[in-house]
């Protein structure tokens, strides 16, 4: 029995695929989609991608064809879904959004539709967080994800003021759900302080010419949490942001399937991933005993009369050390002084973050008022110079050369945990091993078709290869699917 694939595009962006014209399966000539990690020990997943090649003989997929069936809807950000149906079971294989539409010109009769997952829309967003304390890694990731947004066009029905079809009262006035969906393992590690070391010099926030007043890159913050935890973060087949804790792969013992010389091809390597010098960076913290001045207003601020002040005036405060002027984090910050000149009346609200604050000022009168003094105090949270935990295997280093591996997470403050991480990484990678990096399986019979549709990231499989005299168990950490009218269906699993 052949597997049937259904390729659907949510052209009207109503978060369903109920309309008949949204099923484009009969036009699809080939499809490739992938997600997850591409190599062993990779902590952050790659972008989830889909590439469709469609028949465009009648020009229905040519965006500028005014008489085309999809005219006006051939635009980016339309949601795309791939489903398989086999022996009565329907499975979602991919969810993403159109990135580009690339019709062939001239005598061309096809169009390529390139799609991406949520990662592309999240990875460049900057966010701010208050100083967080004693949170597990999953709780930190959840706090970050709830600050990140996907564009409204990615999240189905939504209200856009003034746009026909999206602003009719009682019919299409939907509030957009901008937060990504997520599935998070309970973290194995609890961190005493979070966000105090995520500053303008943090990971991806180092590109010349960019301003980091808006905060830090949220996706880089997730990366820092995952590095400290030694977990994994990726987007699954349904587009859900997924976090595995450190022990997920260490404790999962259930074998999902065995492939005994059944693979079409494989990427096998021996001795490639050796490490014998592991260094883990630790960033100890200390809180000052007494409150100090974290920030004060340098110049007076004038506020227009209340009737002319359309919105609160916003002031951004960056916490700095009084003596050195170096940016710092504040613990339990508060407004110590707020002075309005000449006895006028004004108010404020403060959104405290780990390394600063955003102050919204309002005028309660019909006169111009002058804010002469604002002082924020709090205890200083100091991150000291980096401590390096290093473990070396001398025998491995002599036998195979110097193979260094550095774990640098700004979140890491625990020396004992750092030592455990270093010992674990050294133990499992100091000696040469024969490893399957990937395995390709073709859907040539019912058994293999069922397996490649069912097996996904996180499944434990056994691989036997008589030619290599190899018999070992692996986890699927990534998947790449290929389907075509002529070549049939196959999958490549990336393994660890």
Helix (H, G, I), strand (E, B) or coil at 262: coil
The two three-digit tokens of residue 303, written as one number: 């506020």
User: Which pair of tokens denotes residue 140?
Assistant: 């930190």
Q: Is the pLDDT of residue 251 over 60?
A: yes
Residue 200 has a pLDDT of 59
> Nearest CA to 61 among 50, 49, 72, 46?
72
Q: What percent of the chain has pLDDT over 70?
A: 90
**Model confidence at 116: pLDDT above 60:** yes
Tokens 């989830």: give the residue: 48
Residues 429-451: tens digit of each pLDDT: 999 999 999 999 999 999 999 99
pLDDT at 213 over 60: no
How far is CA 417 from each of CA 281, 384, 411, 421, 429, rounded to the nearest angstrom? 11, 18, 12, 6, 19
pLDDT score recorded for residue 325:
82
Task: Give the pLDDT confidence score for residue 264 in this predicted structure.
Answer: 85
Residue 408 burial (C-beta neighbours within 10 Å; 0-12, 13-18, 19+): middle
Query: Does residue 207 contact residue 130 with C-beta atoms inside 8 Å?
Result: no
Question: Using an 8 Å Cβ cutoff, are 132 and 195 in contact?
Answer: yes
Report the pLDDT averaged over residues 460-474. Answer: 97
Q: What is the pLDDT of residues 286-344, one digit of tens each?
A: 999 999 999 999 999 999 888 888 889 999 999 998 888 888 899 999 999 999 987 77
Instruction: Say what the pTM is.
Output: 0.88
Average pLDDT over every residue of 237-266: 94
> 193 and 129 in contact (C-beta within 8 Å)?
no
Give CA–CA dist 343/138, Å, rounded: 48
Model confidence at 86: pLDDT above 80? yes
Q: Contact, 123 vs 144, CB < 8 A?
A: no
Amino acid 214: pLDDT: 55
DSSP string for residues in 124-177: T-EE----EEEEEHHHHHHHHHTT----GGGSSS---TT-TTS--TTTT-PPP-
pLDDT band at 201 (very low <50, low <70, confident <90, very high): low
Predicted confidence at residue 252, as pLDDT, reads 93
Q: Is residue 179 very low, low, confident or very high in pLDDT (cuts 50, 70, 90)?
A: low
Average pLDDT score over residue span 39-52: 96
At residue 215, does pLDDT exceed 90?
A: no
CA distance 255 to 274: 26
Residue 371 has pLDDT above 50, yes or no: yes
pLDDT at 148: 86
Report, as an integer, the average pLDDT of 396-402.
Answer: 97
Dihedral angle over CA of 245, 236, 205, 283, nearest 10: 0
Q: Is it the case that residue 4 has pLDDT exceeding 50?
A: yes
Tell me the CA distances in angstroms from 214 to 127, 208, 267, 432, one per residue in order. Answer: 7, 15, 44, 46
pLDDT tens digits, one per residue of 55-71: 999 999 999 999 999 99
Rounded CA-CA distance 454/476 in Å is: 12
Q: Quick one: pLDDT band at residue 156, thresholds 50, 70, 90?
A: very low
Section 364-386 average pLDDT: 91
Confidence of residue 208 (pLDDT cuts 50, 70, 90): very low
**Confidence bin at 1 (pLDDT 50/70/90):** low
Q: What is the pLDDT of residue 154?
A: 45
Q: Of 120-124, 177-181, 342-346, 356-360, which one has max mean pLDDT?
A: 356-360
pLDDT at 107: 82
Q: What is the pLDDT at residue 88?
A: 93
- Residue of 96, 121, 122 whose CA lies nearest to 31: 96
Section 249-256 average pLDDT: 94
State yes or no: pLDDT of 152 exceeds 80. no
Average pLDDT of span 210-227: 77
Model confidence at 197, in pLDDT bands (50, 70, 90)?
Answer: confident
Q: What's the chain's average pLDDT?
A: 89
If residue 85 lies in a helix (H) or strand (E), which one and from where to where? strand 79-86
Of 25-34, 324-333, 455-464, give the lowest mean pLDDT range.
Answer: 324-333
């Amino acid at each position: 029995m052949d597997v049937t694939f259904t390729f659907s595009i949510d052209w009207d962006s109503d978060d369903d695929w109920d309309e008949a014209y949204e099923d484009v399966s009969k036009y699809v000539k080939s499809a490739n989609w992938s997600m997850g990690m591409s190599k062993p020990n990779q902590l952050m997943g790659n972008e989830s991608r889909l590439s469709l090649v469609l028949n465009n003989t009648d020009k229905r997929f040519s965006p500028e064809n005014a008489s085309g069936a999809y005219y006006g809807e051939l635009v980016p950000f339309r949601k795309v879904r791939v489903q398989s149906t086999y022996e009565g079971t329907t499975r979602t294989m991919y969810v993403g959004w159109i990135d580009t539409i690339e019709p062939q010109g001239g005598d061309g009769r096809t169009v390529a539709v390139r799609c991406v997952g949520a990662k592309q829309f999240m990875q460049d967003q900057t966010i701010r967080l208050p100083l967080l304390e004693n949170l597990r890694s999953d709780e930190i990731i959840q706090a970050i994800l709830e600050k990140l947004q996907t564009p409204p066009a990615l999240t189905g029905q939504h209200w856009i003021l003034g746009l026909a079809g999206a602003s009719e009262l009682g019919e299409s006035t939907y509030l957009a759900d901008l937060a990504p969906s997520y599935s998070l393992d309970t973290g194995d590690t609890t961190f005493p302080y979070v966000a105090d070391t995520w500053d303008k010099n943090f990971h991806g926030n180092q590109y010349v010419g960019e301003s980091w007043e808006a905060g830090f890159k949220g996706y880089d913050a997730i990366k820092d949490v995952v590095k400290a935890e030694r977990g994994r973060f990726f987007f699954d087949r349904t587009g859900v942001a997924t976090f595995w804790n450190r022990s997920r792969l260490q404790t999962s013992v259930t074998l999902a399937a065995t492939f005994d010389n059944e693979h079409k091809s494989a990427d096998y390597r021996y001795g490639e991933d050796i490490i014998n010098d592991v260094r883990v960076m630790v960033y100890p913290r200390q809180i000052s005993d007494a409150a100090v001045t974290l920030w004060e207003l340098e110049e007076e601020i004038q506020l227009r009369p209340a009737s002319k002040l359309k919105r609160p005036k916003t002031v951004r405060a960056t916490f700095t050390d009084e003596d050195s002027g170096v940016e710092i984090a504040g613990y339990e910050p508060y407004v110590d002084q707020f002075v309005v000149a000449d006895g006028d009346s004004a108010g404020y609200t403060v959104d405290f973050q780990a390394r600063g604050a955003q102050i919204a000022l309002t005028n309660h009168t019909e006169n111009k008022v002058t804010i002469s003094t604002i002082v924020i105090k709090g205890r200083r949270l100091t991150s000291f110079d980096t401590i390096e935990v290093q473990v070396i295997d001398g025998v491995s280093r002599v036998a195979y050369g110097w193979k260094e591996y550095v774990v640098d997470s700004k979140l890491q403050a625990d020396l004992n945990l750092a030592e455990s991480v270093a010992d674990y990484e050294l133990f499992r990678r100091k000696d040469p091993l024969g490893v399957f990096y990937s395995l390709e399986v073709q859907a040539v019979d019912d058994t293999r078709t069922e397996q490649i549709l069912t097996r996904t990231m996180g499944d434990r499989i056994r691989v036997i290869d008589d030619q290599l005299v190899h018999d070992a168990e692996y986890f699927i950490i990534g998947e790449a699917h290929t389907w075509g009218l002529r070549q049939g269906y196959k999958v490549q699993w990336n393994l660890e």
